[in-house]
Amino acid sequence: MTEAFIARGDTVVGCGRSEVELKKMREEFGESPHRFFQIDVTEDTSVEVLCEQTVDTVGIPNLVLNNAGVINESGPLWDISDDEFTEVMEVNVKGTVSVIRHIVPYMIDSGKAGVIVNFSSGWGRSTSPEVAPYCASKWAIEGLTQALAQELPVNLGTVALNPGIIDTELLRSCFGPSSANYPNAKEWARTAVPFLVNLAPSDNGKSLTAP
């Protein structure tokens, strides 16, 4: 997505936990006007600093993508440890809420149009065995997005987005070799990014699926 947004002329601010991968992005896309921060979205204070720095250096965003996500190691729910369950919920749900908590007030105060996209999943609208924690986290995303939609002012909208099935490391952990039958992230972004930039506050509260 970063590559596709920048190719459009957009300014991108992103974050992640891997400094190695972030360094590669800085080398490829430069450090200005784009920004790539090393943070863990489960750390609320770090998210607060990220949002402050984004507004100070780049400005108030008109499109926020909450797409940080992890999945549990496949197995029945009773075999999932407390630590593993907690990580899934903290990254997928708490991380999303932290970003909303710290960036949305700026967006409200600006009065400008903006959209918050919370990445859901097909498993946020259906279920499968051995991925119960992930399903729970994405069903939570669907619910909190609908509730948030009822709270936002008219200049803002939020949607829950099922990105579809993408060949990523996360998918390979549960689909195995069959993941190769699906588009990779770069292929997916070619159609997803134009779809994302056309979202508007009038889409508020929708549960959407990327093309």
**Contact (Cβ atoms closer than 8 angstroms) between residue 115 and residue 128:** no
Residue 140, helix vs strand vs coil:
helix
Exposed / middle / buried, residue 83 (Cβ in 10 Å: 0-12, 13-18, 19+): exposed
**Contact (Cβ atoms closer than 8 angstroms) between residue 54 and residue 154:** no
Closest CA to 145 of 185, 104, 108, 111: 104
Who's near 59: CB < 8 A, 6+ residues apart?
Answer: 11
134 is catalytic: yes
* Annotated catalytic residue, options 5, 134, 139, 188: 134
Catalytic positions, written as ranges? 134
